[in-house]
Structure formats: C-alpha cells, structure tokens
Structure 1
Amino acid sequence: MRTLAAFPVAAAQVRQWLAAHLPAADLRPAYSNADAARQVADGLVDAAVTSPLAAARWGLAALADGVVDESNARTRFVLVGRPGPPPARTGADRTSAVLRIDNQPGALVAALAEFGIRGIDLTRIESRPTRTELGTYLFFVDCVGHIDDEAVAEALKAVHRRCADVRYLGSWPTGPAAGAQPPLVDEASRWLARLRAGKPEQTLVRPDDQGAQA
C-alpha cells in the first residue's frame, strides 16, 4: 500500500497507527473523510482513512478497524450562520459563548463562578489571544443548558454585567425535549431577549464604557 488519502484532522488522530503499520505510505490530503473515500473509489490512492458511513457510500471494504490513537477522541463540527433564534429548548442542550474579560486579578474566576454558583456544568473552556493587546484573551465556554433555561439565562446576564464583552454563539439540542421558561426584565434581560431573537449586537453596553462599538 503506497498511497493513502486522509482529511488532516483524521490523519492526526491515527498518526501513531500509521507510523507503526504504514511508515512508508505517501499520505495525501483530502477535503473530508468522504473525499478520502472518493479518492480510493476513483483509483487515485490505494487506501483512505475514513468513516464506515463514507466507506459504505463509495462501496469500499475496511482493511483495518479501530486505528485511532485515542479511542475516545471526537471531532467537533460547527455550523456558522446568520444571527437567528436558537433551536427550541429540549432539556438536553448545550450553550456556547465568548467572554472578553478585563485583565485584572480574579476577573476570570469571578466570571466562571457565575455558572458554578447556579449549578451549571462547564464542559469546555478555551482561551485565544485577542490579537489587539499583548496578554489579553478571549475565553470560549460551553455549558450544559439552553439560553431559555432560567439558570443559564441568569448566568449569561451576570457575565454580561461582569465582562468587557460577551458574545452568545448559540444553544443546540443534544437529546429529547422538555418545556421552556418565561422572559426576563432589566437591561441585561433585554440584552438576553435580543440574543434569543437573533438580533445582531451593535454596541457594547456598560455603565463605565458608554458608546463603545462592539
């Protein structure tokens, strides 16, 4: 087997297996797992790192199974679209937001504590530099729950008050359905209502930062 097609993310997940079993193979890039399978079907390569679904679609037979270096590894895909209302609350949801936090002692802990004190599980916390000022970061957070859950809504309102900026990325279902919660009042509640309605944020509203552009 001399040539092998793989989507770069998939190739990274089987690096050790390839080094042990196909060290001399010429690894060629694919646009996706499906594209890797297509390359085999079209006779462009000898084999591919792909999914069972893509292999079946292109009429391929598996030569090896369980080749991932980490059996619990998962690939995350994100659908990016125009602002709009989130899917209806199901009772088994996740919510994502980006926090821009003032660079001062305890600011990150205080912001994240707004989720913890309400019993909300944070499933992901990831930092990225703002690229506007050295030592400043954006924090991407995922939590269990939906923007229409009272606890999540209150947590988002609280971090909106605490943080330099908060960008709501969305809520999505991970399981079966349940009911919804009532709307809220005050400025932070109106901000939350705008997010739920899918209206783009035009300004960053803070008492000490009036008129700043988002």
Structure 2
Amino acid sequence: MNGDWTVLHSVPIGKHDTDIDHVIVGPTGVFTINTKRHPGGRIWLGVHMLMINGQKTDYLRKARAEALQASRRLTAASGAPVTATPIIVLVGAKAITVKQRPADVVVLREEELVRWLQSKRRGPRVTPAPALLSIVGMPRTWHANGAAAIETFDASHNATFALLRRSVGRAAGVRAVWVFGVVVAALATSFGLLTG
C-alpha cells in the first residue's frame, strides 16, 4: 500500500470502551477491519454464519455493526454520505471452507488483505475527499468524549509492522520451547517418582 491510504488502529467508538480494530480510507473506499486470530483454526463460512472449529460466532454481526457505526459517524462529521465496508481478517487459520460468501461482509486471510484493498475490481479508484481525510483521524469523530487517542499510520510504517510481526513470531516460538521444556521436565519428574 502507498501514501494514498490512511490507516487508524484501535479506534474507540461510541460512549463506551469498545473499539474498531482498524479503519482504512483510501482510493477504493472506506473499510472497517475486524481482526480475528485463530492459529490452526478451521473456519466455515456461510451467508449468515462464520464458525470456528465447529463453534458459531457473532463475527459477521459485529463486523456489520462496526461498519454501520463508522458510516454514520463519518457521514455526520463530513456532511457527505460515507459508506464503510466491513472486513473480517482471519489470522493463522489452517483451513477455510466457504459454503457461500455474505454479500455485505468481506472475509479474507491476512495475506489477501492488501491485494484485495488495492484491487481495481473494487470499483473506480478515487482520491478521498480532503474533508473526509481531515476528520477521519479526529478522536471526536469516533468517540463521545473525544479524548481517546487514535493511532494513525500510513505506508511509511509498513517496515515497523513487519518487524513487529517477526518479533511476535519469535516470541511465540521461544514461549513454545519453554512450555515444551516445562512439560518434558514435569513428565521426567513424574516418571522418576513413579519408577523410583
């Protein structure tokens, strides 16, 4: 992605402590992104349901609600109609079975997101209105008290995020080694007690 995009992270919304994981504004539209981590998970997707490992979720409903809130707030703040598209990004899923895709919520793997956002198939590319860009990063646009901080990043931060992702991956690997070591030590101790 390039500098034509504005990306907000952990956007506080409404009067309470809820937030939208990410809001993206760019040449192909306005998008709310709900990120769901399910390492090794098996996903089933239908028009009205998204299941993880056979368990029903309310992810589609929440994604729709977040996009609707974003659309209303951006429309009110900018004075022009704004429609946000809800996206659910699945991180670490092992398999995704698509029975039928919902017409109003986009469901993607993390590696598909940037390509999908930039795709010309999303419709005509436009330059976001300056009025929209000026209000999208203002806390009062999103939250009732306007005091919540919103992190705004652009394409120049991609390297930082890539580094962060690698660090998180390494930390998870180190944690897995420690857990494995503790389990082995516990088993060895138990075995020693049983045979001793």
| TM norm structure 1 | 0.26
Choose between structure 1 and 2: higher helix proportion: 2
**Larger strand share, 1 or 2:** 2
- Decide which structure has the larger Cα Rg and report it: 1
Q: Which has the higher contact order (CA 8 A, sep 6+)?
A: 2
